[in-house]
C-alpha cells in the first residue's frame, strides 16, 4: 500500500480468533491493534486512527451493528465485518450502514486479506485519483471511460459501462443490488432486480472468458455483485 | 280419606252443643276440604266439599237427620259453603302442585349441581363420557347411551346397553361433524321417544348421546327434553374447558420445544462455529507461512486440517438448516435470480468435495430468471451435488445441467453411481432416511435430501430423483417456477 505500514484494528471478543488474525496480518506487513469489546474498540479507533477495522458482530457489550454506526458517525475508515450468520438480509443491512465488506466465519486468511486490501485500495484511491482500475485481464479507465480486455479495447453500451464503472470503483468489494439499481436506473425501474440480472448477463458476455462460469464479475447471492481484483485459480482460499 | 275426615269433623261437631255446632259448621267443614286439597289434590278435595255440605245438611240443619231444608236462608248458606269449599279446594290443590313442582325443580338443580361437580373433576374426554353415561342412566333413571365419534367420521355404538335398533340405525347414518342438529325418534314397539344429540366442543364432535325420554304427552316429553338439553349444555361447557386446557398445554410444550431448539441453534452457531473459525483461520495463516510452504509434509498436514474443518462446517451447516426447518419452517426471501449463478455458486462451494469427479456443466441458451430464495436453492442443489459425489465412484462424471421446460426451470445432477431402487425412492423424502445398502460404507446423516426437498418446496418448486436402476446412476432434479410472462426480457 501507499504507507509503509498499515494499522489494522481487530475488534473481536474471542482471543483465539484475534490470535490468528494478528499472525495473519503481521505476516502481511500490517501492524495490529486489538480490542476485546465495543467500548475498547471505539476508543482505539478514536485515538489510534487505524487504516482498517475488522469488526466482529457478536461483542459482549454492544452489537457490531451499533459499533459500526458509532464509527461511521465520524470516520470513513474501511470496515470489514466478521459474521457467523449466513443471513443475506443482515449482510445487506450492514453494507448499507457503511460496512465495506464482510466475511462469513469460518473464513480463510487469504479471503479476509483480499477484502481488506480491496477496501484499503478504495480508501486510498479517492486520495490519489489513479483513474485506471485493473481487474485481472480487464482494465477500466474511469476518466477516459474506456474498457479493455487483454489490452484490446471493447465496446460497452452506456448501461453496461455504468455497471462496470460502479463495480470497478469498488473493485474487490461487494456492491449491493440496491446500490447498483439506484445508480444505474431511475424512477420505478429502480426496484426491478430483473433488469440488473439481464444487464449483468450481457456484460459478462463481453468481459468473461466463459460467461456461464464468471470469474471476474461474480454473484454474491442475495447481496449483490463483486468485481474480482484478480483471477483466482482453482480452489477457494 | 276425605270422607273419613268429613266423618271425623261431623263426630266432633256432634259432641258439641247443637247451637254452638250450628255456628261452627261452615268453618269446620272447610278443614277437611283444605287438608284433602293440600294432601291429595283436587278430586279428593271436591269430594270432601260435597260430603261436607251433605253432612252439614243431614246432621245440623233442621229438620235434623234429613237432607231437606226448611229455611230457604239456610239453603242459600249451604250452597254458599259449597262454592267456597270448591274454590278453596281448587286454590289449595294448585298451591300443592306448585310446591311439588318447586320441590322437583330443587331436586333437579341439586342433581345438576352434583353432575357439574363431577364434570369439573373431568380431565379427559373419556372421563366426561363416563360421567354423562352415569348421570343419565342412574341419577335421572333414564335409559341412555353414548356413541363415541371415531376418527373416520362415524359413531361407534356402545358395547352394552339396550338401545333400540331404530336408534342404532339412525346413528349409523349420521356423520360426525360440528353442528349436528338434535333429533328425536320414536321407537315404534314401545312408543318411547329417543332424543339424539351431539356432544361437541368448538373444535370437534366427541360423540352422540341417545336418551330415552319415555312416552307420554307432548308437555312431558318437552320438559324431559329440556332437562336433558340442560345437562348437555353443561357438558359442552366442560368440553370447551378441556379443549382450552389442552390447547394451553400444547402451547406450553411447543414453547419449550421452541426454546430448546433456539438454544440448540444458538449453541451450534456460536459455540461450535467459533472454534471452527479459529481452527480454519489459524490453518490458513499457517499455510501462508514461508516455513510451511517450503515443507511439503507440513503443508499437506495443514491442508488436511483445513479440509476436515470444511467438512465439519458443512455438517454443522446441515444441522443448522435442519433445526431451522423444524423450528420455524422456512420463509424464503424471494428475488429474481439467474439459475446459472445458483448452480455456479453451489458447484464452487462444493469444489473440494467434487474434486475426485469430472463435473460437466451444461446451460441451455435463453434460461429465464427464477423467482426464488437463491441461498436456499443453492444449498439444496449443493446437497444434490454432494450426494452425487458420495454415491458414485471417483473419476466418474457428474453432469450438471440447467434448462427451461414448460415455463419451469430444471436444475439437474446426473451421476454414474449406484443408483436407487424404487423402494428407496419412496422413502427418500423422509428425514434421516439412509438406505440400508450404504449405511455401513458411506458416511452421512440422511439429512441432506430432506433439507433439499424442504427448501425447494418452500420456494414453490419440486424435487425429483430418478434412476434407471441399481448401478445405472441416478438423476436428481429441482424444478423451479419460472417467470409467467416474458415482459422482463425486453429491457
Are both A152 and A121 inside the same structural domain? Answer: no
Residue B487 scores a pLDDT above 60: no
Please classify residue B305 by burial: count the beta carbons closer than 10 Å to its beta carbon, then call 0-12 exposed, 13-18 middle and 19+ buried. middle
Residues A37 and A122 in one domain: yes
Cα distances (angstroms) measured from residue B484 to each of A200, B195, B331, B339, B411: 21, 58, 22, 16, 18
Choose the closest CB to B285 out of A109, A201, A219: A109
Contacts of A84 in chain B (CB under 8 A): 269-270, 273-274, 277
CA B346 to chain centre: 44
Give pLDDT, residue B160.
Answer: 60
Mean pLDDT of B67-71: 78
Say if residue A164 is in the same domain as residue A112. Answer: no
What digits encode the pLDDT tens for the residues A34-56?
Answer: 999 999 999 999 999 999 999 99
Q: Is residue A152 part of a domain?
A: yes
- Lookup: cell for B23: 255456628
Q: Which domain holds residue A211?
A: 131-227
Number of neighbours of residue B206 by Cβ within 10 angstroms: 24
The confidence score (pLDDT) of residue A43 equals: 93
Residue B29's pLDDT is: 81
Pairing verdict, β A7-11 and A52-56: parallel
What value of ipTM does the predicted structure carry? 0.82
Of the residues A127, A154, A182, which one is the last residue of a structural domain? A127
Residues 6+ apart with CB under 8 A from B113: none
Q: Which of A111, A127, A143 is the last residue of a domain?
A: A127
Peptide bond into A106 cis (omega under 30): yes
pLDDT higher than threshold 50 for residue B489: no
Same domain, A105 and A155: no
Tell me the average pLDDT of chain B. Answer: 79
Closest residue in A to B344 (Cα–Cα):
A213
- Can you tell me which residue has the cell 430468471? B369
Give mean pLDDT, residues B452-468.
87
Question: Which domains, ranges and CATH numbers included, belong to chain B?
Answer: 2-114 (no CATH), 122-242 (3.30.450.40), 330-489 (3.30.565.10)
Q: Enter the C-alpha cell of residue A180.
A: 447498483
Across the A:B interface, residue pairs with CB atoms under 8 Å apart total 112
What's the pLDDT score for residue B176?
64
Query: Which residue from A85, A201, A221 is facing B345, i.e. has the nearest CB?
Result: A221
The CA-atom distances, in angstroms, between B336 and each of A72, A127, B462, B481 are: 32, 37, 18, 11
Q: Looking at A95, A127, A159, which one is the last position of a domain?
A: A127
Ranking A93-107, A223-237, B381-395 by mean pLDDT, the lowest is A223-237
pLDDT tens per residue, range A4-33: 689 999 999 999 999 999 999 999 999 999
Lowest mean pLDDT among A61-65, B40-44, B231-235, B273-277: B231-235
| CA distance, residue B294 to nearest chain A CA (Å) | 16
Q: What is the DSSP letter of B17?
A: -
Per residue in B109-147, pLDDT (tens digit) is 787 777 777 777 776 767 777 777 777 666 656 667 777
The x, y and z cell numbers of residue B378, run together, are 443453492
d(CA B438, nearest CA chain A) in Å? 29
Q: What is the largest CA-CA distance in chain B?
A: 155
pLDDT at position B488 over 50:
no
**pLDDT given at position B465:** 87
pLDDT at B202: 66
Query: What is the reported pLDDT for B137?
Result: 66
Mean pLDDT of B304-322: 83
Burial (0-12, 13-18, 19+ Cβ within 10 Å), B157: middle
- C-beta atoms surrounding A104 within 10 Å: 16
From chain A, the residues in CB contact with B344 under 8 A are 212-214, 219
User: Do A27 and A115 lie in a common domain?
Assistant: yes
Q: Give the Cα-Cα-Cα angle B298, B300, B303 (nearest 5 degrees).
A: 110
CA B281 to chain centre: 54
Residue A102 has pLDDT above 80, yes or no: yes
Residue A103 is predicted with a pLDDT of 92
Of the residues A106, A113, A184, A225, the best mutation for testing chain B's interface (the one with the most B CB atoms within 10 Å of its CB) is A106
Q: Is residue A116 part of a domain?
A: yes
Query: Per residue in A190-218, pLDDT tens?
Result: 668 888 998 999 999 999 998 888 999 99
B394-424 residue pLDDT tens: 999 999 999 998 889 999 999 998 887 777 7
Asked, for residue A73, whether it belongs to a domain, the answer is yes
Chain-centre distance for alpha carbon A223:
12
Q: Where are the alpha helices (DSSP H) in B182-217?
A: none
User: Which of A 16-45 lie inside 8 A of B, CB atoms?
Assistant: 16-17, 19-21, 23-24, 27
pLDDT, residue B482, reads 77
Q: Does residue A57 belong to the interface with chain B, where contact is any CB pair within 8 Å?
A: no
Residue A28: inside a domain: yes
Same domain for A136 and A41, yes or no, is no
* CATH code for the domain in which residue A193 is found: 1.10.10.10
Reported confidence tier of residue B468, pLDDT bands at 50, 70, 90: confident
Burial B104-117 (b: 16+ CB within 10 A, else e): eeeeeeeebeebbe
Give the best-scoring range by mean pLDDT among A33-47, A86-100, B345-359: A33-47
Query: Same domain, yes or no, for A48 and A106?
Result: yes
Q: Are residues A103 and A44 in the same domain?
A: yes
Same domain, A161 and A187: yes
Integer Rg of chain A from CA: 18
Rounded Cα–Cα distance for residues B408 and B351 (Å)? 27
Please give, rounded to a whole number of angstroms, the shortest distance from the CA of A219 to a CA of chain B: 6
- Which residues of chain A neighbour B288 with C-beta distances below 8 Å? 24, 27, 109-110
Q: Quote the cell numbers at residue B250.
A: 400444547
**Strands (DSSP E) along A78-124, which ranges?**
79-83, 101-104
What percentage of residues in chain B have a pLDDT greater than 90?
13
Residue A236 located in a structural domain: no
Same-domain check for residues A122 and A143: no
| Domain contains A237 | no
The more confident residue out of B86 and B211 is: B86
For the beta carbon of residue B442, count every other beta carbon within 10 angstroms. Answer: 13
CA angle B262, B266, B270 (to 5 degrees): 175
Question: In this structure, what DSSP letter does residue A58 have?
Answer: B
Q: Cβ–Cβ of A106/B369 closer than 8 Å?
A: no
Report the range of poorest mean pLDDT among A100-114, B158-172, B247-261, B270-284: B158-172
Peptide bond into B63 cis (omega under 30): yes
Q: How confident is the model at residue B442 (pLDDT cuts 50, 70, 90)?
A: low
Select from A57, A50, A66, A47 the least CA-distant residue to A12.
Answer: A57
pTM for this entry:
0.60
Task: Indicate the number of domains in chain A.
Answer: 2
CA dihedral B423, B428, B431, B435 (to 10 degrees): 60
Examine the domain organization and report whether A73 and A153 are in the same domain.
no
Asked whether residue A2 is domain-assigned, the answer is no
CB within 8 Å: B313 and A222: no
Determine contact: A88 vs chain B, CB below 8 A: yes
For residue B2, pLDDT over 60 is answered with yes
pLDDT for A1 beyond 50: no
Model pLDDT, residue A234: 42
Note whether residue A201 is domain-resident.
Answer: yes
- Residue A88 is nearest to which of B270, B333, B351, comparing CB atoms? B333
CA–CA distances in Å: residue B216 to residues A91, B139, B194, B220: 81, 20, 12, 6
Winning range, highest mean pLDDT, from A217-231, B61-75, B167-181: A217-231
| Residue B363 touches chain A, beta carbons under 8 Å | yes
H or E segment and range at residue B336: strand B335-337
And the C-alpha cell for B129? 363420557
Helix, strand, or coil here: B490? Answer: coil
Decide which of B458 and B424 is more confident.
B458
Q: How far apart are CA B177 and CA B208, in angstroms?
A: 11
Residues of B in contact with A107 (CB under 8 A): 277, 280-281
Residue B281, chain A, CB below 8 Å: the answer is yes
CA distance B391 to chain A (A): 23
Q: Are residues A107 and A136 in the same domain?
A: no
Q: Which residue has the higher pLDDT, B190 or A207?
A: A207
Contact B336 A194 (CB under 8 A): yes
Whether the per-residue pLDDT at B374 is higher than 60: the answer is yes
We report the CATH number of the domain holding residue A18 as: 3.40.50.2300
- Upper half-sphere CA count for residue B133 (Cβ side, 13 Å): 16
Amino acid at each position: 500500500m501507499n504507507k509503509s505500514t498499515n494499522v489494522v484494528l481487530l475488534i473481536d471478543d474471542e482471543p483465539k480468533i484475534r490470535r490468528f488474525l494478528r499472525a495473519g496480518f503481521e505476516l502481511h506487513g500490517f501492524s495490529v491493534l486489538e480490542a476485546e469489546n465495543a467500548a475498547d474498540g471505539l476508543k482505539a479507533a478514536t485515538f489510534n486512527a487505524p487504516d482498517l477495522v475488522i469488526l466482529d458482530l457478536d461483542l459482549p457489550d454492544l452489537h457490531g451493528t451499533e459499533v459500526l454506526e458509532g464509527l461511521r458517525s465520524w470516520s470513513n475508515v474501511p470496515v470489514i465485518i466478521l459474521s457467523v450468520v449466513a443471513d443475506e438480509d443482515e449482510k445487506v443491512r450492514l453494507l448499507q450502514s457503511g460496512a465495506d465488506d464482510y466475511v462469513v466465519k469460518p473464513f480463510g486468511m487469504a479471503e479476509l486479506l483480499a477484502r481488506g486490501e480491496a477496501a484499503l485500495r478504495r480508501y486510498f484511491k479517492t486520495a490519489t485519483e489513479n483513474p485506471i482500475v485493473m481487474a485481472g485481464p480487464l482494465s477500466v479507465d474511469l476518466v477516459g471511460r474506456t474498457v479493455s480486455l487483454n489490452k484490446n479495447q471493447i465496446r460497452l453500451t452506456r448501461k453496461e459501462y455504468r455497471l462496470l464503472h460502479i463495480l470497478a470503483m469498488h473493485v474487490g468489494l461487494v456492491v449491493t443490488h440496491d446500490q447498483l439499481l439506484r445508480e444505474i436506473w431511475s424512477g420505478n425501474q429502480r426496484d426491478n432486480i430483473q433488469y440488473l440480472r439481464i444487464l449483468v448477463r450481457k456484460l459478462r458476455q463481453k468481459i468473461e472468458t466463459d460467461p456461464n462460469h464468471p470469474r471476474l464479475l461474480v454473484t454474491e447471492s442475495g447481496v449483490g455483485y463483486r468485481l474480482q481484483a484478480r483471477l483466482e485459480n482453482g480452489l477457494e482460499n | 280419606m276425605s270422607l273419613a275426615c268429613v266423618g271425623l269433623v261431623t263426630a266432633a261437631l256432634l259432641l258439641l252443643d247443637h247451637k254452638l255446632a250450628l255456628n261452627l259448621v261452615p268453618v269446620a267443614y272447610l278443614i277437611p276440604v283444605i287438608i284433602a286439597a293440600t294432601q291429595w289434590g283436587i278430586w279428593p278435595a271436591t269430594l270432601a266439599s260435597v260430603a261436607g255440605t251433605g253432612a252439614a245438611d243431614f246432621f245440623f240443619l233442621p229438620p235434623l237427620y234429613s237432607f231437606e231444608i226448611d229455611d230457604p236462608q239456610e239453603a242459600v248458606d249451604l250452597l254458599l259453603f259449597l262454592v267456597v269449599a270448591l274454590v278453596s279446594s281448587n286454590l289449595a290443590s294448585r298451591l300443592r302442585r306448585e310446591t311439588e313442582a318447586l320441590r322437583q325443580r330443587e331436586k333437579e338443580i341439586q342433581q345438576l349441581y352434583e353432575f357439574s361437580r363431577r364434570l369439573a373433576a373431568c380431565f379427559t374426554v373419556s372421563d366426561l363420557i363416563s360421567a354423562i353415561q352415569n348421570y343419565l342412566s342412574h341419577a335421572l333413571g333414564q335409559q341412555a347411551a353414548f356413541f363415541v365419534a371415531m376418527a373416520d367420521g362415524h359413531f361407534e355404538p356402545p358395547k352394552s346397553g339396550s338401545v333400540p335398533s331404530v336408534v342404532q340405525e339412525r346413528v349409523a347414518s349420521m356423520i360426525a361433524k360440528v353442528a349436528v342438529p338434535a333429533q328425536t325418534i320414536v321407537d315404534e314397539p314401545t312408543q318411547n321417544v329417543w332424543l339424539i344429540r351431539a356432544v361437541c366442543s368448538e373444535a370437534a364432535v366427541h360423540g352422540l348421546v341417545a336418551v330415552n325420554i319415555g312416552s307420554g304427552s307432548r308437555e312431558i316429553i318437552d320438559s324431559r327434553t329440556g332437562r336433558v338439553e340442560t345437562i348437555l349444555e353443561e357438558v359442552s361447557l366442560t368440553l370447551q374447558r378441556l379443549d382450552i386446557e389442552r390447547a394451553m398445554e400444547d402451547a406450553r410444550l411447543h414453547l419449550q420445544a421452541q426454546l430448546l431448539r433456539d438454544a440448540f441453534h444458538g449453541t451450534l452457531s456460536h459455540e461450535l462455529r467459533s472454534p471452527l473459525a479459529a481452527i480454519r483461520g489459524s490453518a490458513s495463516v499457517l499455510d501462508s507461512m514461508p516455513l510451511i510452504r517450503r515443507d511439503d509434509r507440513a503443508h499437506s498436514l495443514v491442508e488436511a486440517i483445513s479440509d476436515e474443518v470444511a467438512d465439519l462446517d458443512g455438517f454443522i451447516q446441515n444441522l443448522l438448516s435442519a433445526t431451522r426447518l423444524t423450528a420455524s419452517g422456512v420463509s424464503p426471501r424471494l428475488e429474481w435470480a439467474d439459475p446459472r449463478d445458483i448452480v455456479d455458486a453451489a458447484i464452487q462451494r462444493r469444489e473440494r468435495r467434487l474434486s475426485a469427479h469430472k463435473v460437466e456443466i451444461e446451460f441451455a441458451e435463453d434460461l429465464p430468471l427464477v423467482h426464488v430464495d437463491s441461498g436456499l436453492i443453492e444449498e439444496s442443489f449443493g446437497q444434490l451435488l454432494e450426494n452425487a459425489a458420495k454415491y458414485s465412484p471417483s473419476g466418474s462424471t457428474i453432469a450438471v445441467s440447467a434448462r427451461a421446460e414448460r415455463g419451469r426451470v430444471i436444475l439437474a445432477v446426473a451421476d454414474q453411481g449406484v443408483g436407487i431402487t424404487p423402494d428407496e425412492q419412496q422413502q427418500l423424502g423422509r428425514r434421516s432416511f439412509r438406505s440400508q445398502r450404504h449405511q455401513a460404507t458411506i458416511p452421512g446423516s440422511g439429512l441432506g435430501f430432506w433439507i433439499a426437498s424442504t427448501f425447494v418446496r418452500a420456494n414453490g418448486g419440486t424435487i425429483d430423483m430418478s434412476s434407471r436402476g441399481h448401478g445405472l446412476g441416478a438423476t436428481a432434479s429441482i424444478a423451479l417456477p419460472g417467470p409467467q410472462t416474458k415482459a422482463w426480457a425486453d429491457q
